[in-house]
Structure 1
């Protein structure tokens, strides 16, 4: 009994009686084409008329990817703006996405876990006991709805099976790295099986604290757990329930000067950051002779908090010539409920079709406490207050997509979705006792938005021959309007100005091939996107105030990607790719306060990227013990990228190498490994503080600030399968 609501490539390491050894035995010497879940059913990647980056469990293991953030850094065409913990982390795919995120709801990439939407800010979540991850590029609004104008991250966990099996293991490394994982699959009765997965990890923060003996700022800790129950009462029905829990502590978001030093300067213990996330999913699928019915129910609660100085001493001394004390905090709570019903074709149908109805409700509260600050002008700063905001979203949508043959070689794909959405917003601003501006010290704001719209796509896929097919796709994406987390007009008694809905028209043309005679897979693609009214929030005078304004910006993105896999020998596989993205601003509002100009490059998006992976596996004898020797090398390069919309400075290029080598045997798997082998400490995001004149209390010097990535970690690991 296998609970395969989303069937995918099996990982033989977990499917054999003695997986630690048998998984590495050679089965064939050709490339096995990936099976992706981009449209709720298992399909060949080659059959889809758009790009999908596919990672199965083995690929994640070989690249030493254990969390979603690490995966995104390694994926071609994906740009990330994050301090590592902040729930407002912004993702762009092929240059499409918010210039910077003005709200948790202002997302352009949807993240799905077992068919259920989870907040994008959870990119730090652990990839625990994962079957596969598919990153779908280009607007996916037809099947995945709003906020997928750039793409979708579709995460699918391993499901319970009818066998007793599992594994337990751990890692130990430099920078206080410790990691432990346990997975146990237990059949309960003939029709019911269970699966438990637990994971814990910790590691020193990327920056050291000058005010704490130059020790690591914090020691982030993450705990993840999942319980899965699979029930198959008969041949036509399958039911899967999963409960996911993630807990993070001490993940302080550290912003400091980008001057080449891996240091921050804050009082000891002054910064903290963490969260708790819970996601429940219930999937039921019933199969008739010519029809599939699927029900997907999701429920979740997500909490994140962050507290600490608003700027560290190094920034303060550069801008103001002294170490000004400050403190603030914010928290974000979100509850989610979703329900989707689908009818679809069966796998043996002559053509693919799916239709359905989706409902999603979210309620979110964002609380901010300005605490205190000695920075000049703080007495008059609108952020010198406590601000409580409540956001609600209710959306319902009807959708359908089909792919059918026009000729023996030509297929047409069409999809359409109509969505109705209502966004609610309530806010209360209450000035702190030290607020010096005259007038009322409390204001309220209560608004709502309603919109309905179409998204969809049209694509053709043509089979040139047994090895090559070419495709062309047009798709329309949409991101609803809404309200900023940080709008400060309420301090003057003015209602918040909502940001506008964003739309994108995207075009892609490419080819996909699997040339068995050469043991080669190659996938080139060209893309072009035009986006209207994506979003940016600007600090009006960031050197002395955190007052903000939200602006709508038009953008353009064009480029190319090519990926290839080659298996010249049964023991050896090479994978490589090159990506080029030119993403620019095409229109700004009149009198924009962003500092940007038409033609500026979109921040965080590198012009060039390249990736390379080499995986070697060879059975051998170690003394009298049969083993399999494995060696893996993964490299990712990104060219310098602009730090902000004003293009004031560039973030340096990135070179990331993960490597490992070791043995698999009946007695377990043992490896030596390294992440970030070159110790590349390039910034992960940046921000420009303009200079404050001496007569206004400043030094006359500006500052480039941000945070840097974790350095090299060396370690050992051991894992035992049973």
Structure 2
């Protein structure tokens, strides 16, 4: 849901005030995909085993590729429990997305990456500061507060606000999606899960890349990185990326795209090998976006989504994030100590508009209504831990963490068409959060092949809130403070059925502390209460055919007590609470079919329902049995990756063909907690085909080949029966170039 509530430019923090004139069961597709994947796997395995038997071999023998190397899937490691591990040894579900794959798929932001991950849902209106994530149907039912971290996002071991998902992806090594409560190791929150982002680090040899893309709708991206030794003890890495695209929305007044958002990201890293057992990694990052805003578009969109607004409304919109981090590691004979310190400074300003078309539908008048949003946030974090070494038979970790944040979420100005400012209406809000925690987790071998995992964390949460609400020239003060102590953790057991296959069962408790929402407009409406999460998961992780086939399966049930949601009508906002329950299962597979071909796929089924009747709502009654918004019952993806050496082509002595095809399915899902209507299911197909020679590649790409402007979110105004949302980009084609060294 878009946050249609003001933000402050009358602050004394040095940010200039912008000029008031803004010129310048529907499961057919998913079932078919799952059946196709299953039939292909079975048929392929059977035919391969038969072929080997005909040749006098066995299905368990190593197969060798055309270039003399064994055919196997790449080895994976994850840092889901703060040290490097094989994901097969972790007693909960982890989805690993390789950074190279993310680049090849042409994702512009982390938001896009997560949207194509089965079991993960993203609600966004297209702005730079409004993303909300849920995993397996668990998370805030609408974006509530920048302090709400139902899903924790960690960048190189330190938390970043999930509201920064719209920023560009810069020089990533991999993304890990940890499903189920992760409150033990990640800041005391993470009741729905966690997302770990790992960036590429400086190396002791010179290496890097350059990449450029250009396509329809002015989509373009330029990226480069270089790293290597600076001296005997120091290594460095510098990465930069710039990208831009046209909004998939036409402004009826100009006939041109509503805006052209662009992004710039720069990161520098310095690694100091102090001695063989001790190292320090210092990183500085700057991210900047412009011309983004929350999109409120009257539905249905049609083939050419339109909006009717004063031109140039997003000209002053921008978001800046500066981030500094220091990681120090020291390795002992049987353990290691790690300190991670980070500081971030984020500033965002943008308008929220009801255009003439939406306002006409809601109010009967062809006018405009807008509000500024101005957001600032400063966050300091510290984590200190001692743990076992990677690969140790006994895993253990113990540590302490601290977080301090100050933020403002303000709506300083309200206006109408042609930049007219309505006097005497504003909201200014200031928040602080202090969070302290101690934690530990251990995995102990009980008997041969059987391990027990136990983890616990205790957290102290302290929050304050001060606000001034002004309506028609009359100001009202509001304030509050709260504290909370809570314990989270998990208990699990895993059993190695064979050296290649593990089964596991885990029970976890998560917690979402209470706090103060960003969108309150009157005194007394800001506070919301805490919620508790209880989750059970059973699953299997396995590798077959000499590590050519990886298969993971899981089933889960999660209950949330006092899940919170925003209840909205027009621009008014209130907090409600309701219990929810989520039940489902997931299947993921990777199969190295042959030397040149790899198939990957995943499917997720989630039944997420609200369990309480909530009648005192502005947007209509919420009934027990309603489905949780934004969560499809079925979602999934299938990818085919083909890499093959070719004979000489002209002046290319040894070219290689690189091709991939990606299909994503997202089923129907409710637009709101009242279940007024469903957002349509969609199918998204992307492709990339290139010819490479000696690290240099030319390629063509196509994205969203089906072409549908699927929904990024949906909203329903009950008084006028108006539906609006934000459309995703349509079909686009382009060219690209990359070179690695």
Alignment of 1:568 with 2:580, yes or no, is no
Which residue does the alignment assign to 2:728? 709
Partner of 1:325: 368
1:246 to 267, 281, 287: 287
* Structure 1 runs not aligned, ≥5 long: 1-23, 434-440, 692-700
1:421 matched to 2:447: no
Distance 1:55 1:531 in 2: 28
Matched, 1:302 2:343: no
2: CA distance between counterparts of 1:384 and 1:479?
36
Query: 1:529-581, CA deviations, whole angstroms, 9 ceiling, x for partnerless residues?
Result: 00011111212x42xxx222211111000001001111120110001111100
Q: In the TM superposition, what whole-angstrom CA distance separates every residue of 1:183-222 from its partner, at most 9, and x where no partner exists?
A: 111421011011100100111012111111x210000000
8 Å contact kept, 1:566–1:575? yes
Selected match of 1:614 from 620, 625, 640: 640
2-side partners of 1:147 and 1:215: how far apart? 43
Deviations 1:89-112 (A, max 9, x none): 210000000111221112310111
Which residue is equivalent to 2:26?
none
Measured after TM superposition, the shift of residue 591 of structure 1 is: 2.9
> How far 1:674 moved relative to its partner?
1.1
Aligned to 2:516: 483
Size of the aligned set, in residue pairs, is 667
Cα separation, 2, equivalents of 1:496 and 1:153: 31
Tell me the equivalent position of 2:35: none
Q: Which residue of 1 aligns with 2:540?
A: 511
Match of 1:468 in 2: 501
Matched, 1:127 2:127: no
Q: Partner residue of 1:694? A: none
Deviation of residue 58 (structure 1)? 2.6
- Whole-Å Cα distance in 2 between the matches of residues 719 and 113 of structure 1? 26
Distance in 1, Cα, partners of 2:198 & 2:337:
19
RMSD value, Cα: 1.8
2:251 aligns to what? 209
Partners of 1:25 and 1:662 lie apart in 2 by 20
Structure 1 counterpart SS, 2:359: helix
Q: Does the 8 Å contact 1:211/1:268 carry over to 2?
A: yes
Counterpart of 1:235 in structure 2 is 276
Structure 1: distance between partners of 2:537 and 2:214: 44
After superposition, where does 1:549-564 map in structure 2 within 5 Å? 549-564=574-589
Give 1:198's match in structure 2, choosing from 240, 246, 255. 240
* Counterpart contact for 2:273–2:280, Cα < 8 Å: yes
The match for 2:400 is 357
Q: Shift of residue 372 of structure 1?
A: 2.8
- 1:684 corresponds in structure 2 to 712
Q: Report the 3-state secondary structure (helix = DSSP H, G, I; strand = E; otherwise coil) of the residue aligned with 2:169.
A: coil
Contact 1:552 1:588 in 2 (8 A): no
Quote the residue 1:599 is aligned against.
Answer: 625
In 1: Cα distance, 2:409 partner to 2:547 partner: 55
Q: Does 1:628 align with 2:656?
A: yes
Deviation at 1:384, TM superposition (A): 6.6
Aligned to 1:170: 212
- From the superposition, tell whether residues 115 and 275 of structure 1 become closer, same or farther in structure 2 (CA, over 3 Å): same
1:276-316: CA deviation from partner (whole Å, max 9, x where unpaired)? 0111110000011112010000100011111153x111112
TM-aligned CA deviation for residue 88 of structure 1? 3.0
Q: TM-score with structure 1 length normalisation?
A: 0.90
Deviations 1:358-381 (Å, cap 9, x if unpaired)?
00001101110242359xxx99xx
Query: Aligned match of 2:306 in 250, 263, 270?
Result: 263
| Residue 501 (structure 1) aligned with residue 530 (structure 2) | yes
Q: Is residue 387 from structure 1 mapped to residue 431 from structure 2 by the alignment?
A: no
Structure 2 residue matching 1:599: 3-state secondary structure: coil
CA deviations over 1:677-711 (Å, ceiling 9, x no partner): 211211110000123xxxxxxxxx42110110011
Relative to 1, partners in 2 of residues 1:594 and 1:587: Cα closer, same or farther, differing over 3 Å? farther
Does 2:573 match 1:548? yes
Cα pair distance change 1:717/1:416, threshold 3 Å: same
- The 3-state SS of whatever aligns with 1:211 is coil
**For 1:529, what is the secondary structure of its paired residue?**
strand
Superposed, which structure 2 residues align to 1:581-592 within 5 Å? 581-589=606-614, 591-592=616-617
Corresponding residue SS for 2:457: strand
SS in 2 for 1:304: strand
Q: 1:284 — aligned with what?
A: 328
Deviations 1:245-296 (A, max 9, x none): 1000011222111113311111111235320011111000001111201000
Structure 1: distance between partners of 2:391 and 2:87? 18
Query: What does the per-residue CA deviation read over 1:386-424, in whole Å, with 9 as the maximum and x for residues that have no partner?
Result: 111001000110000000101111100000000011011
User: Corresponding residue for 1:698?
Assistant: none
1:592 Cα deviation after fit: 3.9
Indicate whether 1:220 and 2:246 are aligned. no
Q: CA deviation at 1:588?
A: 4.2
The alignment partner of 2:729 has SS state of coil
Structure 2 counterpart of 1:457, from 466, 476, 490: 490
User: Residues 26 and 313 of structure 1: is their aligned pair in 2 closer, same or farther, counting only changes over 3 Å?
Assistant: farther
Report the 3-state secondary structure (helix = DSSP H, G, I; strand = E; otherwise coil) of the residue aligned with 1:141.
coil
- The partner residue of 2:558 within 513, 524, 529 is 529
Q: Is the partner of 2:700 in helix, strand or coil? A: strand
**Aligned residue in 1 for 2:377:** 334
Counterpart residue number, 2:3: none
8 Å contact kept, 1:554–1:588: no
Query: Segments of 4+ in structure 1 off by > 6 A?
Result: none
Q: CA deviation at 1:469?
A: 1.3
